[in-house]
Amino acid sequence: MGRILLKNMILLHEDGQETGDILIEGEKIAKTGTSLSEDGVETVIDGEGRLAACPGLFDMHVHFRDPGLTHKEDINTGAAAALAGGFTGVACMPNTNPPIDNAETIRYVIDKAKDTGVKVYPVACMTKGMVGAEPSDFMELKKAGAIAVSDDGKPVKNAEIMRQVLELSKETGLLAISHCEDLDIINGGIIHKGEISKRLGVSGMDRASEDSITAREIALAYCGEARIHIAHVSTKGSVELIRDAKRRGVKVTCETCPHYFYYTDEKLLSRDADFRMNPPLREESDRIAVLDAVLDGTIDCIVTDHAPHAAEEKADFLKAPNGVVGLETSLAAVLSKLVHEKGMPLYRIAEIMSAAPRRLLGLSEIRLEAGFPADITVFDPFLEWTVEPQKLHSKSKNTVFKGEKLKGRTVYTISDGIIRYKLEN
């Protein structure tokens, strides 16, 4: 590994930004400052006061489909997509085949990810086999390397089982991440229940499905003095429940995805299954509520819920599985909608897409300071580009942003002091 100098960069920190240089030696940041010497430096990247550098992005909610569903994605292609999007770390969900509910599968994920340049942390199943009948052995999972627990993709239907999960979460320190959905309310719905579902003549997914389980998880966390993290928030009701719970001191945190503050269910009028995910795109009032909640800090972090599916699986609008890819468009969507359109300070990228998810998972912090790991995302906040699905690094191309013109893009991704990704002209 050689010496790398990032010069004339907009350096983003959790609480502000400055212009300066970063010298990388080996796997660490050796020095920061201004007008650092280029003597003995093998690679110089001049930001010319335009490029921004922040601690490597981290996505705490992705699906890499490995093991068992690798026709959709595998750890190597998922990591390549992550690097192209500026992510140096991810937490991968356990709904694989077999599910990640044992030490052997956790070790498989960790071992396969070792040489990808992306730090891949397995999220293990809350319940054995993801069937909701019995909590997993949290201590065994933690010892094997699990970073959190979730049955994402499936709700834990039984409230007593969920209470036990939160108790075990509190004992072991493994964050419980809840997929908030009442399947009895869903009752076969495939898109948001509202005017658009009526016009299309398809079964809808009522907001009450998400809101009722969000309320349950908050109540269980409050009673047990435990932490709960709400996955992929999509409704105005859940936003208000979480905002109120935080005011009351409940240990609740949450995440959302760019598509929930970017689009509404009107996208489904095209009958294109690439706009189907779970939870679904909702109405304008929900979109605005989610967007405002990111801006005011109610929503703690941005994730992608990167969920690859093969083209043939997405071909039938009514029968297609839910899910969209997002690792390569997330930063650009956040920059386009939140920074350029809504005026969010650029430095908040370092908080909501890097520091916050690491902190929630109990990982070591990464800062743009001497002695810290050289995991750095360099991006151009102003570079305009059009999303072309066929050019994505993911094995699957099911993106909601296809054909969208976005403003901002990753230019370099550095992990362990090595340039792992460089945007080609």
Residue 409 inside a domain? The answer is yes
Mean predicted confidence (pLDDT) in 247-251: 98
360, 388, 405: which is the final residue of a domain?
A: 360
Q: Is the pLDDT of residue 1 over 80?
A: no
Kind plus residue range of the DSSP H or E element containing 240: helix 236-247
Q: Find the angle CA(265)-CA(252)-CA(57) to the nearest 5 degrees.
A: 70
Number of folded domains that form the chain = 2
Which listed residue (182, 300, 305, 380) is catalytic? 305
Contact predicate 202/228, CB 8 Å:
no
262 plus 306 within the same structural domain:
yes
Per-residue pLDDT, averaged over 93-119, amounts to 97
Task: Check if the beta carbon of residue 110 is closer than 8 Å to that of residue 81.
Answer: no
- Helices 207-224 and 236-247, packing angle to 10 deg: 20
pLDDT digits (tens, 9 = 90+) for 358-392: 999 999 999 999 999 999 999 999 999 999 999 99
pTM confidence score: 0.97
CATH for 11: 2.30.40.10
Q: How confident is the model at residue 302 (pLDDT cuts 50, 70, 90)?
A: very high
The whole-number pLDDT of residue 87 equals 99
25 and 121 assigned to the same domain: no
Which is nearest to 185 in space by CA: 214, 161, 150? 214
Together in a domain, 273 and 167: yes
Residue ending a domain, choose from 313, 339, 360: 360
In the chain, % helix, strand, coil (3-state, to 5) comes to 35, 25, 40
**Token pair belonging to 135:** 């909590």
d(Cα 256, Cα 300) in Å, to the nearest integer?
8
Q: Are residues 42 and 146 in the same domain?
A: no
The answer on pLDDT for 301 being more than 70 is yes
305 an active-site residue? yes
- How far apart, in Å, are the Cα atoms of 63 and each of 26, 94, 226? 31, 8, 26
Q: Which helix or strand (DSSP H or E) is residue 75 part of?
A: helix 75-85
pLDDT in tens, 325-367: 999 999 999 999 999 999 999 999 999 999 999 999 999 999 9
Instruction: Share the mean pLDDT of the chain.
Output: 97
Same domain (yes/no): 286, 416? no
| β-pair partners for 150 | 177
* Mean pLDDT for the stretch of residues 389-415: 98
Looking at residue 413, its pLDDT comes to: 98
Query: Which amino acid type is present at position 256?
Result: T
Section 187-207 average pLDDT = 98
Q: Is residue 11 part of a domain?
A: yes
Residue 365 domain flag: no
Q: Give tens-digit pLDDT for 220-248.
A: 999 999 999 999 999 999 999 999 999 99
CA-only gyration radius of the chain, Å: 21
| Res 2: pLDDT | 81
pLDDT of residue 425: 74
Asked if residue 47 has pLDDT above 90, the reply is yes
H or E element at residue 12: strand 3-13
Asked if 268 and 320 count as a contact pair (C-beta separation under 8 A), the reply is: no
Is residue 321 one of the residues assigned to a domain? yes
C-alpha span between 76 and 248 (Å, rounded): 43
| Cis-peptide, bond into residue 67, ω within 30° of zero | yes
How many Cβ atoms are within 10 Å of 189's Cβ, its own excluded? 18
For residue 248, is it within any domain?
yes
Do residues 195 and 60 share a domain? yes
Q: Are residues 267 and 330 in the same domain?
A: yes
Whether residue 153 sits in one domain with residue 89: yes
Instruction: Note whether 29 and 43 are same-domain residues.
Output: yes
Instruction: Indicate if 355 and 394 belong to the same structural domain.
Output: no
70 Cβ neighbours under 8 A, 6+ residues apart: none
Give the residue numbers spanning the domain of 241: 56-360
Amino acid identity of residue 13, one-letter, is: H
pLDDT in tens, 119-132: 999 999 999 999 99
Q: Are residues 379 and 262 in the same domain?
A: no
List the CATH number of the domain containing 278.
3.20.20.140
Torsion angle, alpha carbons of 86, 321, 150, 142, to 10? -70
255 assigned to some structural domain: yes
Q: Does the CA dihedral 226-227-233-236 come out positive or negative?
A: positive
216 and 95 both lie in a single domain: yes
Percentage of the chain modeled with pLDDT above 70: 100
Domain end marker among 335, 360, 385: 360
